[in-house]
Structure 1
């Protein structure tokens, strides 16, 4: 894939390996989070789903990207991950194909996000599972939050952007 010129040029693979075109999110607020099933932050799935349910009808989308790069806390297959999310947390937002968020095989979505919004003290890499990015209705990456930031605490910013 050539270098994307906008957020909407991205098209990662869904859990079944099919293209998941971000053009469908034009005009919406999007939260992107790297997720894992066996992490201390895994209960954030509940808060993410609650945020999704509360604001989805107003234009919020949440996209989960499973990642096994931090403590091997996402060892399952894409099918196992999807089943886990549904059965344990009632997740209805899209959880896509497992990706790398750092290193030589970084998914283009994460290359793009990290190039637009550095973390604490200018750190570009993703530090751990459940790091969150917020993209506004114009496709601009406006915020980045660490793993310790709860989904519930994103509500005020999401409301403002909606």
Structure 2
């Protein structure tokens, strides 16, 4: 069965990141841009990340300059800007294309499994969000206007559906995944 685990992507420091290392985690994938009017969502995304990371949740930020040239920065300058202005701690990748002939394969996969506004597969703007379950399967796609704080219940639901052993010390032990 296909999943996001079949893809690799370069982090903003140019190191290769195999998404297979996220097996067992609920993942929110977001195309981002530092100069976008939705960039304040980075703070809300960080709050989600901090609240659920110990339960097996993570966020992946994929900067994109395709929409009104809202991501003029390159490489580590993007992550530095996100950390300085939004205090983010989740993974920031190198800039990607999310539409067109040079679309990153991950986004081709995500778009082929969902539809956005008006049932269109194309990504219409920055901060489109894709929620992926612990098996690497796409659960849902959310529009740029969807506020991260509105995703609490669906994230909790995905985390609770993950077949992992509960321990006395933490709500979830992501190292004890049941097969």
Same fold (TM over 0.5): yes
Give matches, 1:140-155, under 5 Å: 140-155=137-152
Q: 2:30 aligns with which of 20, 28, 33?
A: 33
Q: 2:91 aligns with which of 73, 89, 94?
A: 94
| Structure 1 residue runs of 4 or more that deviate by more than 2 Å after TM superposition | none
In 1, distance between residues paired with 2:126 and 2:137? Answer: 22
Q: 1:132 aligns with which of 110, 129, 132?
A: 129
In 2, distance between residues paired with 1:98 and 1:64? Answer: 9
CA RMSD, 1 decimal:
1.1
* Contact preservation (8 Å) 2:14, 2:75: no
Q: What is the CA distance between 1:80 and its match in structure 2?
A: 1.3
Instruction: Provide the aligned length of Structure 1 versus Structure 2.
Output: 159
In 1, distance between residues paired with 2:11 and 2:24? Answer: 21
In 2, distance between residues paired with 1:6 and 1:34? Answer: 18
**Given the alignment of the two structures, is residue 105 of structure 1 paired with residue 105 of structure 2, yes or no?**
no
Q: What is the CA distance between 1:27 and its match in structure 2?
A: 1.0
**Given the alignment of the two structures, is residue 158 of structure 1 paired with residue 124 of structure 2, yes or no?**
no
Q: What is the CA distance between 1:117 and its match in structure 2?
A: 1.2
Give matches, 1:4-153, under 5 Å: 5-153=2-150
Task: Please report the TM-score for the alignment, with normalisation by the length of structure 2.
Answer: 0.86
> Gaps (5+ residues) in structure 2?
160-179
Larger-gyration structure (1/2)? 2
> Gaps (5+ residues) in structure 1?
none
